[in-house]
């Protein structure tokens, strides 16, 4: 149904608003306010001006204001008598808002583009949650050979790819460190946790307590053991792990009877590390895995063809091996994403998303990462989001775009149209000209500690009080309220440093006061 819509805009955005509004099926009337910048508008300004200048108010169905207005725009509706809502922050998003306007529950407080973003996200997560709760469908899907249970978690090609997070060098951690690391992974969305043992050592005696601690503290989340040592595998099986990671042609004969008896699934490798043998060709990988599958009859297996790091052996050949194997075998596939991200000096987020997409096309079931280095910090969260993106894309039959969830961290999805403001003022070039003068009220040491920004105030070189917060504004507002700063250049310095700290906290970067973060 066509509606009569009055769109309020400032002078600078007026031409763009008129241009995009012409594409709508609705009857659009654009009123350009005398104020040049939309962010400077207030409900009272709009009320005064449209009362005097707009003659068609009686026939208007709704009023759309700029999304950049800071205040609630409901006073306009109260005064004029016409439903009034915030539009998008960027005029370039108006076509989407106008297209969906009859389906959107618009707000007088929240910009329309944020509402659309939230609604798309809600729909995406609702679809995934409904899928995960559909026990009848899950039971049906588990009858297919490519889907299995790991603990109480359905895993397989028909489910979202499960993220397995490795607690690297777990035996070296004390109980508190082990639980803290595990809780961090679970908080970031990990579906399963892996106890990473230490290659070349037999630390089987540590396993029962580690498994017990994780089971007690984390409930039903599946636990795996990452070792090729038969002695460690046996103890892990008896201790109640939910998945063995891994079996190969060298250790399988010794542990298969126990794994079969306990009905525990296992990841299998196309190797024989007891003889220092690894496959060199695509078909050697496939044939070795298929040989091991025959030995593992009556055991649910997950095939790991070993994803190679770039330019080590061949990441391309390892991916081709996965593809060939999956075309010949209906079993779950393991994808060791961390093999690539840990050995590539690139921010992990884009790499994780791309590898998740490749994994989805290959039919992978598990995405594995350890988060062993600073550059891969956050990989579990990144893989959880990208796994959901790929699951949605697969079910919608679309590319992983406009899903409602995304991994856009440092870049915007769309370029904003440039609106150049004609400002006729003298220009003074900015130069650094700061001479340090001690603030008589004291100084601050800034840091990130326990996932919060911490500002320690010093008086006469002694710590006096600490202020913590999640954002720069929380901290500097409190500093001002407590009267801990007196010089304007000190306040400006603190604002800049605290914003750096907030950016570092959000991105997981190291923060060091007075040093750049990029």
- Asked if the structure places residue 388 within a domain, the reply is no
pLDDT mean over 87-111: 88
Q: 420 in helix, strand or coil?
A: coil
How would you label 170-196 residue by residue, b for 16+ Cβ within 10 Å and e otherwise? bbebeeeebbebbeebbebbbbbbbbb
List, in sequence order, the alpha helices (H) in 408-461: none
**Tens digits of per-residue pLDDT, 276-306?**
999 999 999 999 999 999 999 999 999 999 9
Residues 94 and 171 occupy one common structural domain: no
Could you list the beta-strand ranges (E) of 328-410: 334-335, 366-369
**Tens digits of per-residue pLDDT, 13-46?**
888 888 888 888 899 999 998 887 888 899 999 9
Residues 305 and 244 occupy one common structural domain: yes
- Asked if the structure places residue 373 within a domain, the reply is no
d(CA 25, CA 305): 54
Residue 204's domain spans which residues?
154-336
The one-character DSSP state at 179 is: H
CATH number for 257? 3.20.20.20
- Asked if the structure places residue 355 within a domain, the reply is no
Residues 89 and 223 occupy one common structural domain: no
Residues 162 and 311 occupy one common structural domain: yes
pLDDT mean over 79-87: 93
Q: Given a cut of 80, is residue 420 above it in pLDDT?
A: no
- Asked if the structure places residue 389 within a domain, the reply is no
- Asked if the structure places residue 344 within a domain, the reply is no
Question: pLDDT value at position 417?
Answer: 65
Residues 21 and 120 occupy one common structural domain: yes
- Asked if the structure places residue 471 within a domain, the reply is yes
d(CA 249, CA 276): 11
Q: Which residues contact 360 (CB under 8 A, 6 or more apart)?
A: 161, 387, 390, 391, 393, 394
pLDDT-based confidence at residue 53 (cuts at 50, 70, 90): low
Single out the residue in 302, 321, 336 at which a domain terminates.
Answer: 336
- 149: which strand partners? 154
- Asked if the structure places residue 41 within a domain, the reply is yes
Question: pLDDT value at position 335?
Answer: 98
Residues 169 and 215 occupy one common structural domain: yes
Residues 159 and 287 occupy one common structural domain: yes
Q: Given a cut of 90, is residue 58 above it in pLDDT?
A: no
Single out the residue in 288, 320, 336 at which a domain terminates.
Answer: 336
Question: pLDDT value at position 22?
Answer: 84
Q: Note whether 119 and 107 are within 8 A (CB).
A: no
Structure pTM? 0.86
Picking from 344, 394, 405, the residue whose alpha carbon sits closest to that of residue 369 is 344
pLDDT mean over 48-63: 81
Give the count of domains, the chain.
Answer: 3
Helices 315-328 and 282-295: crossing angle, nearest 10°?
40
CATH number for 59? 3.40.50
**Tens digits of per-residue pLDDT, 161-218?**
999 999 999 999 999 999 999 999 999 999 999 999 999 999 999 999 999 999 999 9
Longest dimension (CA), the chain: 89
**Tens digits of per-residue pLDDT, 310-349?**
999 899 999 999 999 999 999 999 999 999 999 999 999 9
Q: Given a cut of 90, is residue 412 above it in pLDDT?
A: no
Residue 444 host element (H or E):
strand 443-449
Q: Given a cut of 90, is residue 497 above it in pLDDT?
A: yes
Residues 201 and 320 occupy one common structural domain: yes
Q: Given a cut of 70, is residue 419 above it in pLDDT?
A: no
């Amino acid at each position: 149904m066509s509606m009569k819509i009055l769109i309020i805009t400032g002078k600078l955005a007026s031409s763009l608003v008129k241009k995009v509004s012409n594409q709508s099926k609705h009857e659009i009337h654009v009123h350009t306010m005398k104020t040049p910048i939309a962010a400077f508008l207030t409900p009272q300004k709009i009320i005064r001006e449209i009362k005097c200048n707009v003659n068609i108010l009686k026939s208007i169905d709704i009023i759309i204001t700029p999304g950049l207005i800071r205040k609630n725009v409901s006073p306009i509706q109260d005064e004029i008598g016409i439903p009034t809502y915030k539009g998008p922050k960027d005029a370039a998003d108006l076509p989407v808002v106008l297209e969906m306007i009859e389906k959107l529950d618009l707000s007088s407080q929240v910009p329309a583009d944020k509402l659309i973003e939230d609604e798309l996200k809600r729909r995406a997560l609702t679809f995934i949650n409904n899928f995960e709760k559909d026990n009848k469908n899950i039971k049906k899907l588990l009858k297919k050979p490519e889907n299995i249970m790991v603990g109480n978690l359905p895993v397989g090609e028909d489910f979202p790819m499960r993220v397995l997070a490795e607690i690297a060098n777990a035996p070296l951690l004390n109980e508190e460190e082990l639980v803290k690391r595990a809780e961090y992974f679970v908080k970031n969305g990990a579906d399963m946790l892996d106890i990473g043992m230490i290659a070349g050592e037999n630390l089987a005696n540590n396993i029962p307590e580690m498994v017990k601690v994780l089971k007690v503290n984390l409930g039903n989340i599946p636990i795996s053991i990452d070792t090729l040592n038969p002695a460690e595998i046996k103890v892990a099986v008896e201790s109640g792990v939910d998945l063995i990671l891994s079996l190969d042609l060298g250790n399988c004969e010794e542990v298969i009877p126990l794994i079969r008896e306990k009905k525990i699934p296992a990841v299998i490798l196309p190797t024989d590390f007891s003889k220092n043998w690894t496959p060199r060709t695509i078909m050697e990988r496939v044939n070795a895995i298929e040989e091991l599958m025959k030995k593992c009859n009556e055991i649910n297996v997950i095939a790991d063809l070993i994803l190679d790091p770039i330019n080590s052996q061949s990441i391309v050949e390892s991916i081709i091996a996965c593809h060939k194997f999956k075309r010949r075998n209906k079993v779950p596939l393991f994808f060791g994403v961390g093999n690539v991200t840990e050995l590539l000096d690139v921010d992990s987020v884009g790499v994780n998303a791309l590898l998740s997409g490749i994994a989805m096309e290959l039919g992978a079931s598990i995405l594995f990462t350890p988060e062993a280095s600073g550059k891969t910090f956050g990989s579990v969260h990144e893989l959880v989001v990208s796994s959901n993106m790929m699951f949605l894309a697969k079910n919608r039959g679309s590319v992983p775009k406009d899903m409602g969830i995304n991994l856009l961290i440092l870049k915007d999805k769309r370029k904003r149209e440039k609106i150049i403001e004609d400002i006729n003022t003298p220009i003074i070039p900015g130069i650094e000209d700061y001479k340090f003068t001690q603030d008589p009220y004291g100084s601050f040491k800034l840091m990130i500690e326990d996932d919060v920004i911490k500002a320690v105030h010093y008086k006469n070189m002694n710590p006096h009080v600490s202020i913590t917060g999640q954002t720069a504004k929380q901290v500097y507002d409190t500093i001002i309220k407590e009267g801990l700063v007196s010089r304007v250049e000190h306040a400006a310095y603190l604002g800049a440093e605290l914003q750096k700290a907030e950016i570092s906290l959000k991105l997981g970067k190291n923060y060091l006061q007075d040093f750049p973060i990029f």
